[in-house]
Structure 1
């Protein structure tokens, strides 16, 4: 492909007798697109080869390295640096806009049937349809190239009106994987609207609003003619059309863009694939550093990693994997369970034991073989039903656990342990984070947490489990103070993958020991 010839032809085309008509139909980047594609096919490839090549660019667009798509754009970049002119200088400012139209053109039936000619003065057929009003919907979290392609195509299809439904926070929390990483709906609405207006400020009407179902504004706005969908939302588009017809509104054409925007697959293999998908991008944040390491308030002789999370989130499993991976990397690591320190704190006869019994009553005490101890099930039933009671218990127990934790850390340091893994469900609430260099947070869906709790404690009902989960801070609150996040909701190999990524990051970035 001779890019210089392509750019030269496209530039000259502006000055031909037909240039005004052609540019009005296509826009100058479309003309450039056609000329490059023309050369690609006429000189080097068959139409089928060209279509496959550009489809590859398209499907690789979301990879972290941007694959061949990025290489393709880099070729343009190099050319512009050497042969830039007033015609080409805006190309890179609108590369995503250009690429969306390029892709649509390459895959269109009109293009397949086109008999190409070397004559640059020919009139070109109109490739894209035009509609008065276009609608689309989605979550639009972590705006990436897939979202931009979808929105860009919509702006080209719409002559006067673009309507976008953005799933609200309630919908996201119930239906999306890892909703903790999704921005609030209000922020996503602003991002979508700003993007549309940045690429097509001339559009007469832009409506972007939150929706809590699969329809949103698509069944309220009457003057719509088309709905833009991605590969995984075709059925949703068909449902919108059916609903509109039931309401006596006009049928919409479906304009499909063949790309996966947000596929919530639970398959372990697909989890590791680097596809252009919002859910995969969220999953990619697991095991990746979210914020810099912290400086402990006390002079710690060991590197402390605090592991926290909600009930049944997999903290113990993660902690054990963390110790194992550290060992595999040649690092001495040990594990401290703050729950066990809590058991030790209110052993019979201790000050903590007496304070707890005085506050909550003798009925929380059980006797086994003449030895008294706190009945955690009875105590738990009391404190999880009343926030004030829980607060009172924490005021008694937390200072004792903190004291014991510092003592355990000092002992590990004397044993030349380099990393100490501290598992503490209440690490953040108890303000023990000032003892840690890293905060690792485990997150799982509430529905999975309830299932795990009731499975391991058959005496608890689902409602009781839910009550206990809701008595704690939210995952978003935990993540706001975390340096890494993990989820144990998939296969063990996926958890290992997350842990290995985090450990390698710590050892590489900070070269601690």
Structure 2
């Protein structure tokens, strides 16, 4: 099964692409944002760790019903990088486990492709398990405009803090196999999606062969090794600059 890593900066249109892949092409979506909300529900281990770490830093951390105040938590961590790293350190292991479990489910169901929809695909090194990576990008001006329209409670400073806390579009482009430019109309974006899907669609023969252990193991190993090699070369190139 081909795992397609889908990523993009906040307010770039990744969710729009994900919905299109699900609705038009009937691809199963492993949604990291959805899983991230589930693992911090009251009673979950990640929830307890977050409350313990942030309770003295964020007075309004919890809502009246005991759930996390995601708006207050987000505003705090996007302006405190160390605490953002701490939050990621708490949530990422739980999110990874749930994602791998869901990918395994779709593999056993016999799907030819599934989409791993992850905002921090490269930052979390999850591209190493993907056969193909796709990034959705747009201009920074348009990204800021969309973010403030979508989240009117954010000040311009808060919105910029969120944008600046993420990987740049240039780095995403350098690390992606395919780029979707979301600077124009939905029709234009859908045409780009159509083109990418046609290029990456695995053959039925390959899908069948991957269910035989030797071929499947070699295929998975080659994907991981190629991703690690690509990352090593990119790091070397960055160091040279």
TM-score of the pair, normalised by structure 1: 0.38
Preserved CA contact (<8 Å) 2:112 2:202: no
Q: What residue is the counterpart of 1:357 in the other structure?
A: 51
1:305 aligned onto 2:4: yes
Q: Give the conservation status (yes or no) of the 8 Å contact 1:443–1:486.
A: yes
From 419, 433, 455, the equivalent of 2:127 is 433
Q: What are the equivalent positions in structure 2 for 1:170-209 lying under 5 Å apart? A: none
Which of 329, 335, 338 pairs up with 2:32? Answer: 338
Secondary structure of the 2:135 match is strand
Corresponding residue for residue 180 of structure 2: 486
Q: How far did 1:509 drift? A: 8.9
Instruction: Flag the 1:483–1:512 CA change in 2: closer, same or farther, 3 A.
Output: farther
Contact 1:307–1:439 (CA under 8 A) maintained in structure 2: yes
Aligned equivalents of 1:311 and 1:512: distance in 2? Answer: 34
Provide the rounded CA distance (Å) in 1 between the counterparts of 2:9 and 2:109. Answer: 31
Q: Does the 8 Å contact 1:444/1:487 carry over to 2?
A: yes
Say whether 1:367 aligns with 2:64.
Answer: yes
- How far is the alpha carbon of 1:426 from its aligned partner? 0.8
How is 1:26-65 mapped onto 2 (pairs within 5 angstroms)? none
Once the 2 structures are TM-superposed, how far is the Cα of residue 363 of structure 1 from its aligned partner?
Answer: 2.9
Paired residue for 2:22? 323
- Counterpart of 1:444 in structure 2 is 138
1:460 to 136, 154, 166: 154
- How far apart are residue 511 of structure 1 and its match? 7.2
User: 1:450 and 1:414 mapped to 2: Cα distance?
Assistant: 41
Mapping of residues 12-91 of structure 1, within 5 Å: none
How many angstroms does 1:512 deviate by? Answer: 4.2
1: CA distance between counterparts of 2:87 and 2:202?
41
Corresponding position: 1:469 with 2:163 = yes
SS of equivalent residue, structure 1 residue 373 = coil
Q: Residue 336 of structure 1 contacts residue 422 of structure 1 at CA under 8 Å; is this kept in 2?
A: yes
The alignment partner of 1:489 has SS state of coil
Matched position secondary structure for 1:349: coil
1:314 and 2:8 are equivalent in the alignment: no
Match of 1:395 among 83, 89, 94: 89
5+ long unaligned stretches in structure 1: 1-301, 328-332
Structure 2 unaligned blocks of 5 or more? 208-241
Instruction: List per-residue Cα deviations over 1:161-184 (Å, max 9, x = no partner).
Output: xxxxxxxxxxxxxxxxxxxxxxxx
Question: CA–CA distance in 1 between the matches of 2:161 and 2:141?
Answer: 12
> What's the offset of the Cα at 1:427?
1.0
Residue 194 (structure 2) pairs with residue 500 (structure 1): yes
Contact 2:11/2:146 (<8 A) preserved: yes
CA deviation map 1:259-284 (0-9, x unaligned): xxxxxxxxxxxxxxxxxxxxxxxxxx
**Structure 2 CA distance, aligned partners of 1:494 and 1:451?**
20
C-alpha displacement at 1:415, in angstroms?
2.1
Secondary structure at the residue paired with 2:25? Answer: helix
Secondary structure in structure 1 of the residue aligned to 2:63: strand
For 1:257-296, what aligned pairs fall within 5 Å after superposition? none
CA offset at residue 324 of structure 1?
4.0
Distance 1:360 1:439 in 2: 34
Return the offset for 1:508.
Answer: 7.3
**CA-to-aligned-CA distance 1:192-230 (integer Å, 9 cap, x gap):** xxxxxxxxxxxxxxxxxxxxxxxxxxxxxxxxxxxxxxx
- What is the match of residue 70 of structure 2? 376
Whole-angstrom CA distance in 2 between matches of 1:440 and 1:510: 22
Over the aligned positions, Cα root-mean-square deviation in angstroms equals: 1.8
Instruction: Considering Cα pairs closer than 8 Å and 6+ residues apart, tell me whether 1 or 2 has the greater RCO.
Output: 2
- Number of aligned residue pairs: give it: 204
**Correspondence list, 1:217-228, <5 A:** none
Structure 1 residues 508 and 343 mapped into 2: Cα distance closer, same or farther (>3 Å)? closer
1:429 Cα shift? Answer: 0.8
Contact 1:325 1:500 in 2 (8 A): no
> Following the alignment from structure 2 to structure 1, what is the Cα–Cα distance between the partners of residues 8 and 183?
13
